[in-house]
Each structure stands twice: as structure tokens, then as C-alpha cells.
Amino acid sequence: MASEQVSTELLRGFSPLDGLKRDNLAALARKVQIREMSPGQLLFKEGDTEKRTLYVISGILELVDQGKVVGNVEGGSEFARNPVAPVYPRRVSARARDRVQFISIDSDLLDVMLTWDQTGTYEVSELAGKSDQSNEDWMTMLLQTKAFHKIPPANIQAIFMRMQQINYRSGDVILKQGAEGDYFYVLIRGSALVTRETPLSKEGIKLAELQVGDTFGEEALISDAKRNATVTMQSDGAVMRLGKDDFKKLLNEPMLDWLTKSEAEEIIRGGGQWLDVRLPSEFENQHLDGALNIPLYFIRLKISTLDQSKKYIVCCDTGRRSSAGAYILSERGYQAYVLKGGINREQA
């Protein structure tokens, strides 16, 4: 498959990418490429569970169910503004009728970025302290790691805002083996070397080389143990660090009530209300019957319009944004639950 870089203007033509702030969209654009398919080639098969968000740019993609074409996605059409078959596992297969150009985005990365973007009023460059690509890159790289996806979305903004930048010279020791654990670190500029001293090697055995976006220091914080290695800068550079107390507090899952679809529907039958916190364009394309739509970034503004005597089942496509919304509601005394797995997951 051939590939080329995408522009922010192209990404802005798709939903919900058009809801991302300028710098966040630019950061995403650097992670995405345009790909091509030949006529007859399959993009995915029915039952596929790979979490990729797909958009058709040009050409016609056929949606096939049990050998029959049940729909088409034509690049440039209004229908093509939305992701192709977003429910997992995929309910249809997708096959190129002619030469098709498309983009593929890691669904978890996109969902984290949407959540982060909508949870606060900050852009990548503002959180990083200045608008340059190196700062944006370490943040998007961190968001893209599977480990970081486990961080409660309500805490994402707070983590970045509480981090402190520290500059180092080549040869400086960031943390020393045997010392007390006090900070969690992210390397944002330069490179560093991880070594461990042993009885046979006082110089230290090389364990790893760290590059921009790599994290370190968490083991000692989690286990309340001594540092098990030394990290030394190999070049001039900088790190962002988060204090031990903030690390423990912000990386703990908030006390939220998660419900299966059947459990949630029982509450709905008893007078509860679906509260969809996705963007209006996502809501219009697909939503649960009777759902109320208040985008995540409007929750604080619209919260006074909600009924404190009512139970709300907060939902989105995966559960990430809805957990942030439920956390905000719960903090303010509302009865809020989260739909486990989101509306894009088939549940018994």
C-alpha cells in the first residue's frame, strides 16, 4: 500500500476529528498517513476486532454481508464523513470497488485525544508550555502508549498541568540507584541511558536507552521501594516530572459505577436517562434510543439543567469519555453510572 502524510484540513473534514482543537489536530496529523487499496482488496472482514478508526478519502468501499453488497461508502460524500463500520466486532466486510484512498487511526489514541481535548480548555502547545513540535510529540507519544490509556480520563489534564519541566546537561544523573522514589518522569528532549550497578560491575550494566516519549521511575513509586537503576542523560535534554503523591492520586481509578448494557437498561426502564457525551455529529450518526446529548466539554456548563433525582447512564462509543463525564457528575452529587465498553461494543 502506498502512503503519504495527511493535512489538518483533510482531517477536519471527518467526524469527530473536526471537534479537535487546532494544535491537537496537527499533532494527530503527524501520526496518520493516507493509504491506498486496489480494486477487490479487503480493508477488514466481518468479525474483525482490531481497534482502528477508518475513513474513506476517495473511491468507493463496498460493505458486504454474507457475500452481498449492502452499502457503499464513497469518498467525499456526507456519509464518508463518519467512520466506516465503527462497531466491534465488525458486522460487515469492507471491499474496495475501485482504487480507494483511506486513513486509519488507532481508535484508543483517538478516543484518549478526544477525551483529553474535551475535558479541559487546553491545547497540546499550552499544556507543553510552548508551541513546538518536540513538546507536542512527547505528549502524543505518551497518549499513544497502551499503558497511558489506562489512566482515568478525568485525570489526564491534571497530570499534564501538574508536571514540572527540568532541564539537564549531558552526563547529568536524573535518578540514582538506591535512592528513594520521589518522581515519575517522561523524557521530552534528548536521550538517556539506564544502567544498574552489580557486584561484578560498579560501572553499571546498560539496561536501556531512553528516547523522547519514554517514561521511567514509576516502579519505585508503585512499590514504595528504592530506585533499582540509574538514569543518566546522554545529551543535553529535558524531562517532565510528576511528584509521588500526584502520581498515586491521579493514576488511581476514580470510584465510578460501571454497568453492563443489561444492567443499564434495567435502570432506564425504572426511569433512568441515557446521557451521551459525544460530539453532536457522532450522536446524530448513531445513538441509543431516548438518549440526551450533552458533549463532554459542555457538561460543567449544562449540569444545572439535569435532574439530581434522576439516575443517569453516561455513555460514549468506548466508555472513556463517559467515565470522565460520570466523574464530573458524581463530584457534584448526581447519580451517575458508566456504560461499560460503550455503545460500540456488542454486549449480551
Packing angle of the helix pair 22-29, 107-119 (nearest 10 deg): 160
Active site residue: 238, 251, 316, 328, which one?
A: 316
Read off φ and ψ for residue 136, nearest 5 degrees.
-65, -35
N-term to C-term CA, the chain? 37
CA nearest to 100, candidates 178, 43, 165: 43
The C-alpha atoms of residue 102 and residue 81 are separated, in whole angstroms, by 12
Active site residue 316: yes
Q: Is 268 exposed, middle or buried (0-12, 13-18, 19+ CB in 10 A)?
A: middle
- Cβ atoms of 320 and 111 closer than 8 Å: yes
| Residue tagged 463496498 (cell numbers) | 62
Q: Catalytic site residues?
A: 316
